[in-house]
Chains A and B, each alone.
Chain A
């Protein structure tokens, strides 16, 4: 019995030392992300890569620290960064919203994205074409089932448009689908939602670049930008948003470094493109 007990004790101690040994990583910036959002972050043989990773690595170089990326569910990132206990920053193509601003500090925006609708190629969805740009307005999705990735802006917008009873400019949505019997389904990643098109959902709303990735590799799917119908004779406008990197509130040293790196990357080069745009092209495999 004593022998068994001592073996157990040794085993427990081993686990303990292993755990403590890998602790104390104060020289590391831990960044949470959701690596199913190419080209901003994606897994490559188990390693997180992408535009956000390159940006944060430059921040790490600037501060002389190593950067470690953690692949978690998108919906927990803001809260984890807000608590600041297990990570320092969140870089996941995160859109700046007022609700998120209350919990975390955002860097300057580094990319403007529009929301896209993914649909089956044989779907007879009503589209509009103005000045050669083909798009879909919210109203065309009325009465259908819309799939989104939990807590992404697509999810927030769709939820807002379905459930807001009247226009609420503070939150950026207008309730255009209220009372139209439109339903939303949430998924872990946009890819699962896209896989469910035709069986469980009719449309998927997600940011432009991830949408184009999914469509490029699935011949049965198409995508188009999502627009708000213009009021009072105004032109229809795309559902736009700006990405930024968030840090725990009060971590000014890290935020300043991120902003400095982003400012450098956002300077237009000789080819008329910023470094960020070049990174996007590179990670989409379009840099030749």
Chain B
């Protein structure tokens, strides 16, 4: 009754659908930009944390460990709040950029741990064999260990990207018009005056993005595994 009326009203209204797609655009933009930032940051941090102990690496290693501990140990909503209202508390600074930085920095910590696990999962014998054949340490890492590690890391990174997309739903807290805010907009008193329908539709949108991403990840995995079969 009321539920289906509102569902039909939402899908048949150009204004509401425009709002939904506007929100979808922001969600995709933040997720994609934060994912790129997170991958870059995570890769750097991972290589620092697995580097051999030496005097020069002591400080970078300590900093990376603090970064991972703090970011993984505090809630994302709180990190976003601190980034927007304390660190980037500058008049006119776009919340969108702050949000991308906050999500990218958050994602980086998880990606770093995923990459570290992937590299450590490659048998030490592979490194030893490379070195025994006379390859330098760096070549052994880049040509023997990393290609094998990537294969192991892809599912975990995919997992992190999916989590990241859904986590961006809290940016409406800091005035970014994303998919969740679009749902709140459509559900507010001036429009449908009920959250249930727009929230369910927003959930459907998230599901579609995640499904498409899963599809791409599966494809990459399949290609990487092609060489395994003999």
Contacts and interface: CB of A to CB of B under 8 A. Distances in A.
B195 A46 contact: no
Interface in A185-219: 189-192, 194-195, 210, 213-214, 216-219
Interface string B84-113: 110001111111010011000000000000
B155 to A, nearest CB: 23
B92 A213 contact: no
Nearest to A212: B189
Given A15-B97, A45-B18, A71 B181 contact: yes
Contact of B194 (A28, A39, A88, A195): A195
Interface string B188-216: 11111111100000000000000000000
- How many residues of B sit at the interface, in one of the four size bands? 35 or more
B91 A217 contact: no
Interface stretch (B58-66, B117-125, B161-169, B170-178): B170-178
Nearest to B185: A43
A133 interface: no
A46 to B, nearest CB: 5
B38 interface: no
B175 A46 contact: no
Contact of B184 (A30, A44, A189, A217): A189
Contact of B188 (A23, A26, A36, A88): A36
Contacts of A210: 189
Interface stretch (A79-87, A103-111, A123-131, A156-164): A79-87
B173 A46 contact: no
A24 B93 CA distance: 8
Nearest to B15: A45
Given A189-B184, A191-B195, A217-B194, A36 B92 contact: no
Interface of B: 2, 15, 18-19, 22-23, 36-37, 40, 44, 84-85, 89-95, 97, 100-101, 172-175, 177, 181-182, 184-185, 187-196
Interface of A: 8, 11, 15, 18-19, 22-26, 28, 30, 32, 35-39, 42-46, 68, 70-73, 76, 80, 83, 85-88, 189-192, 194-195, 210, 213-214, 216-220
In order of increasing CB-CB distance, the 3 nearest A-B pairs are A25-B92, A217-B193, A213-B189
21 contacts: A15-B97, A15-B100, A19-B93, A22-B93, A22-B94, A23-B90, A30-B92, A37-B189, A46-B185, A68-B92, A71-B172, A72-B174, A76-B85, A85-B89, A86-B89, A86-B91, A191-B193, A192-B195, A214-B189, A217-B194, A218-B2
